[in-house]
Chain A
Amino acid sequence: MKIAACIKWVALRPDIDPLSGSVETDDRFSGVSAADQAAVEWALRMGEAWGASVTVATVGASIAESALRDALACGATTAIRIDIEHPLPSAAVGRELAAALADADLIVCGDWSLDRGSGSVPPFLAHARGAEQACGLVALSLDATGVVRAERRLDGGRRERLIVRAPAVLAVEGSTARLRRAPLGGVLSSARSSIDVRTPSTPNPAEPVRLVHARPFRPRTKIVDGPHGSVRDRSNALLGMGSTRTPPQRLVLDPEVAAEHILAALHAWGEIDDPASAEGQ
């Protein structure tokens, strides 16, 4: 079994000029996103649980090697960097990663990168590999070798429970795991480890979108309804004057009675159904 994690080197604290919109980045304040770190952690956990090797890969310039070394220090087996100077479109990144990780059974990515990422690399990668994909994962647990039980975020606060089997590409959110702290020995040996640097198979893929003329984004004027009522009424409404409200109460009660009071108050405010009828059901 072979596991892989994909990470992207991004500016973590870009400086954006409020007037021109130009972005300045500083390598000292760059690294990988929390989601990508979580991806590496999950790959390492899978490697440990299933006795699998873990490869960590990135498409990026040489500066990104420091993130690969961090992953090696944490326990990844090998690291691959596909050497590019200029950013590639997501589809091309997906293809490059698919080619570099052709023998990986499960590939874990961060859900989306911080630099205006659209979260499209994992699906492109899955497509290029002909593998299943599970994106937007908010919880994972490892099952039998090559099987992951995952929970995925859906619209409207809903969740979908999935059983994902290798070969597959998983995209995890940053909250799912925190990357472990590398041991000192790992840090020292990773500084000496070699990184497999590869040239991209299609160095200059045709841009899917051709930018002809760029203008600053100017949203249309929003029409806002004018104020209603007299100035006095409006300031009264703002200050809550003249409105009736229940004054706050301070009660000292036993926990059980306190809980009943809280439920009754929530019901009275319309926040929950009648607790008594809920109990009956």
Chain B
Amino acid sequence: MPDFEVVVVGAGPAGSIAALSLARLGHSVCLLERGPFPGSKNVYGGVIYGRILDELIPHWWEHAPVQRWITRRGTMLLTDHQSLCIDYRSTAWAQAPYNGATAYRPDFDKWLADEAVKAGATLVSSTTATGLVRTNRGLVGGVKTDREGDLMANVVIACDGVNSFLAKEAGLYPNFSKDHLTLGVKEVLALPRQEIEARFGIRSGTNEGADLEIVGGTQGIAGGGFVYTNLDTISIGAVLSLGGLSASKVRPEEVIAGLKAHPSLAPLVDGAELKEYSAHLIPEGGFDAMPEVVGDGLLVAGDAAGLCLAAGLWLEGVNYAIGSGKCAADAVHEAIAKGNFSKAGLVSYKDRLEATFVLRNHRKTRKAAHLLLSDRLQNRYPQIACDLLEQLYTVEDPLPKRGALTIGRALWKGSGLRIRHALRDGRDALKIYG
């Protein structure tokens, strides 16, 4: 006799939503979390896109522990001494139902897990799942924990985050490679609230906020940076390719120090007090690096299933974790109704993922990682774009002004880049963002 119908391992966004949905559907569900409370161990940049919550928790924005609502979104190209920023602002995003929000994960994850508990899930924290328990028919029938006694269930949903040990143990990560992972590092810096609003050009006294995504500035290591505003702190960090980082012999905190010292970013963080430093892996491999997500008695969701969308313009994982957690819960509900917990009984999970934004977006952006981490996108194009603008804006009287095309052509020639590479990159970019 199992202890619960379902055990969900990991009370991150994927796990809490899976548990919440199953509890609402009337199932007995245990949400297992290794940290002392949900979110205590979790690291991310800072922006949550909550549209996927609209149905699950109506008017979630009235209850969620949000720091600031993003009304300013910038995409910034950095070279050693230059920067070029596309700066978009919208007051529409300052009103319900909002677009993106910054939030601290210990607050947000705890809130989401509390919603699951309110719906009837049993939360067991400070407990790590250490392995899978198999039934005599070979199905996953529960988890071993670091406490005395196993936790038995009809189905286990592994929402244990990137590099999932449970999915690995089940043999669902056959092509696991470090090249599918990046390292996210982040500092949280404290500044007075008014100071943040003044430096980021945010309307003072509001809880509006800014989000800057950065290409370049990572000391030649493929990746990118970010700066997000919270109420009285700033999150600044970088996402770095693991191979590039180890080859560069640069320490991740040095990359953040480099970003903070960049002339375009230094005025934003000047004099701020370091509150926190954290680092975490990100499954950036995209669609082609996704593991198997269905096993006998086991589903894998969120980062554990490699469902983090890192595609330059977008660094989104929380909404994909929530989306996949919901799909997993619906698939398990169906399997319970049929009484079939084998892979065949659970396979509707994959179809559900395919039918929603979760896999559709990943499929569409499957070439993003390859494109974005290439030297051309990381260094060459930003350099050309910045030099082009620098020369266009520099007044060189009495010399006559040169047109953008003339400057562009000269810069292109000097760069040694090939037109066919640019065309291929353009085609890939169109496929991803077009």
A185 to B4: give the CA distance in the assembly, Å.
12
The answer to whether A28 touches B37 (Cβ under 8 A) is yes
- When C-beta atoms are compared, the residue in chain A nearest to B122 turns out to be A191
The answer to whether A184 touches B37 (Cβ under 8 A) is no
- When C-beta atoms are compared, the residue in chain B nearest to A73 turns out to be B147
Choose one: A28, A184, A191; the contact of B149 (CB below 8 Å): A184
The answer to whether B110 touches A183 (Cβ under 8 A) is no
The answer to whether B124 touches A187 (Cβ under 8 A) is yes
> Given A28-B37, A28-B40, A28-B110, do A188 and B147 touch, yes or no (CB 8 Å)?
no
B148 at the interface (CB under 8 A from A): yes
Within 8 A of B (CB), among A169-208: 181-185, 187-188, 191
The answer to whether A184 touches B148 (Cβ under 8 A) is yes
Across-interface contacts of B147 in A (CB, < 8 A): 181-184, 187
Across-interface contacts of B124 in A (CB, < 8 A): 184, 187-188, 191
Across-interface contacts of A184 in B (CB, < 8 A): 124, 127, 145, 147-151
The answer to whether A28 touches B106 (Cβ under 8 A) is yes
Across-interface contacts of B106 in A (CB, < 8 A): 28
B375 at the interface (CB under 8 A from A): no
- With both chains docked as a complex, state the minimum distance between the C-beta of B109 and any C-beta of chain A, in angstroms: 11
Across-interface contacts of B37 in A (CB, < 8 A): 28
B3 at the interface (CB under 8 A from A): yes
Per-residue CB contact flags for chain B residues 18-37 toward chain A (1 = under 8 Å, else 0) read: 00000000000010000011
- With both chains docked as a complex, state the minimum distance between the C-beta of A193 and any C-beta of chain B, in angstroms: 13
Across-interface contacts of B3 in A (CB, < 8 A): 188
- When C-beta atoms are compared, the residue in chain B nearest to A192 turns out to be B122
A187 to B110: give the CA distance in the assembly, Å.
19
Do most interface residues of chain A lie in helix, strand or loop, or is the interface mixed? Answer: helix
> Given A28-B106, A28-B110, do A188 and B145 touch, yes or no (CB 8 Å)?
no
Category for how many chain A residues contact B: under 10
- When C-beta atoms are compared, the residue in chain A nearest to B151 turns out to be A184
Across-interface contacts of A188 in B (CB, < 8 A): 3, 30, 122, 124
- From A28, A183, A184, A188, residue with most partner B Cβ within 10 Å: A184
A185 to B122: give the CA distance in the assembly, Å.
13
A188 to B28: give the CA distance in the assembly, Å.
13
Across-interface contacts of A185 in B (CB, < 8 A): 148-149
Across-interface contacts of A182 in B (CB, < 8 A): 147
- With both chains docked as a complex, state the minimum distance between the C-beta of B231 and any C-beta of chain A, in angstroms: 15
Across-interface contacts of B110 in A (CB, < 8 A): 28
A33 to B145: give the CA distance in the assembly, Å.
25
Across-interface contacts of B36 in A (CB, < 8 A): 28
A12 to B408: give the CA distance in the assembly, Å.
61
Per-residue CB contact flags for chain B residues 105-144 toward chain A (1 = under 8 Å, else 0) read: 0100010000000000010100100000000000000000
Across-interface contacts of A191 in B (CB, < 8 A): 122, 124
Q: 28 A-B residue contacts at CB 8 Å?
A: A28-B36, A28-B37, A28-B40, A28-B106, A28-B110, A181-B146, A181-B147, A181-B148, A182-B147, A183-B147, A183-B148, A183-B149, A184-B124, A184-B127, A184-B145, A184-B147, A184-B148, A184-B149, A184-B150, A185-B148, A185-B149, A187-B124, A187-B147, A188-B3, A188-B30, A188-B122, A188-B124, A191-B124
| 5 new A-B contacts at CB < 8 Å, known A181-B146, A183-B149, A188-B122 | A183-B147, A183-B148, A184-B150, A188-B3, A191-B124
Residues of B within 8 A of A (CB): 3, 30, 36-37, 40, 106, 110, 122, 124, 127, 145-151
Interface pairs A-B: 8 shortest CB-CB:
A184-B149, A183-B148, A184-B147, A185-B149, A28-B37, A183-B149, A183-B147, A187-B124
Residues of A within 8 A of B (CB): 28, 181-185, 187-188, 191
